[in-house]
A and B are shown apart, each in its own frame.
Chain A
Amino acid sequence: MTLAEIYQLHGALVYNVALQYTQNKQDAEEVTQDVFVQVNEKMAEFKNESEMKTWIYRISINKSLDFLRAKKAVKRWSILTAKNIDDAKGITGVSDFNHPGVQLEQKEVLTFLFSCINKLNDRQKIALILVKIEGVELEEAAKIMELTYKGIESLLSRAKNNLRLIIAKSKEDEI
């Protein structure tokens, strides 16, 4: 299979996964590029298309998380090097939520929801995004995350509980 063929099959999948993590078009494009650069290096190793899809999901998730960590580090540095406190506050206050899959009327609610999801630990975030946003079946999600079926069920349950607590706390802090 050529890279172009793989992109035809899985390009949208990668882009959408990246969007769920970055919530921003430009960042998702960058992550998608990084994913396919890696796919290009290793694609000859895969003969089975379903194995490749699982692997591409994993790379997409890992590259998205790497991107977010790097972005957080850059933001932290910008805050540390800000000339005054107002500049620093400006940097922390900027929201770059620009998710094209979100309807305008739902933007505010989903921006808030995503800000809560971003506070979950990585594994819970991955499970929640895969199952509840990407709509992946539990069995497939378990394969992607290299867990048993019970394992993914339990992880998802903990993710939902923690998300509930984070949402409640965020609403309290706003009041």
Chain B
Amino acid sequence: MEKSLKLLGSIEKVYPPENLLLKIERKIERAKENVVPLTWVKQAAAVFICVFSLEIFVLSNSSESNQLTELIQTTDNTLYDE
């Protein structure tokens, strides 16, 4: 076992490839390009909330007139004018 551990200790340290820093910098640049700006996200969220609120408002106000329309329709059972 000690021999195995000694062998592990003999593993040499190596230098990274020369162009690795360049690859890292490119990766960081690519990561920045993919990030959506926070202001855009906030604006999209605000628009969504407005549209959603408007839809709920419209639906809640139109429910009474819909009931009236349904009532009128149920009293008319004729398929066509006789």
| A residues with CB within 8 A of B | 3-4, 7, 11-12, 14-16, 19-20, 29, 32-33, 36-37, 40, 99-103, 106, 109-110, 113, 128, 132-133, 135, 160, 163-164, 167
A101-B23 contact given A160-B1, A160-B5, CB 8 Å threshold? no
Please name 8 further chain A to chain B contacts, defined as beta carbons within 8 Å, in addition to the given A132-B8, A167-B4, sorted by A numbering.
A12-B15, A15-B15, A15-B16, A16-B14, A110-B11, A133-B8, A133-B11, A163-B1
Of A12, A102, A133, the contact of B9 (CB 8 Å cutoff): A133
Which of chain B's residues have a CB closer than 8 A to the CB of A37? 24, 27-28, 31
Q: 1/0 contact trace for B15-43 toward A, CB 8 Å?
A: 11100110111011001000000000000
A to B CB contacts below 8 Å, 12 in the list:
A3-B25, A3-B28, A11-B21, A29-B16, A32-B16, A100-B14, A101-B12, A110-B11, A113-B7, A132-B9, A133-B9, A160-B5
Contact A29 B11 (CB under 8 A): no
In the complex, the answer to whether A40 meets B28 with C-beta atoms within 8 Å is yes
Once the chains are docked, how many angstroms separate the CA of A55 from the CA of B4? Answer: 29
Q: Which residues of A contact B28 (CB under 8 A)?
A: 3, 36-37, 40
Contacts A7-B21, A109-B7, A132-B5 known; A33 to B14 CB distance under 8 Å?
A: no
From A12, A102, A110, A160, B16 is in contact (CB under 8 Å) with A12
Give bound CA distance, A15 to B25, whole Å. 16
A160 vs B21: C-alpha distance when bound (angstroms)? 36
Contact of A106 (CB < 8 Å), options: B7, B21, B25, B27: B7
**Bound Cα distance from A32 to B24, whole angstroms:** 8
In the complex, the chain B residue whose C-beta lies closest to that of A116 is B4
Complex Cα spacing A11 to B14, Å? 11
Residues of chain A contacted by B4 (CB below 8 angstroms):
113, 163, 167
**Contact across chains for B27 and A11 when beta carbons are under 8 A apart:** no
Instruction: Report Cα–Cα, A100/B17, bound state, in Å.
Output: 11
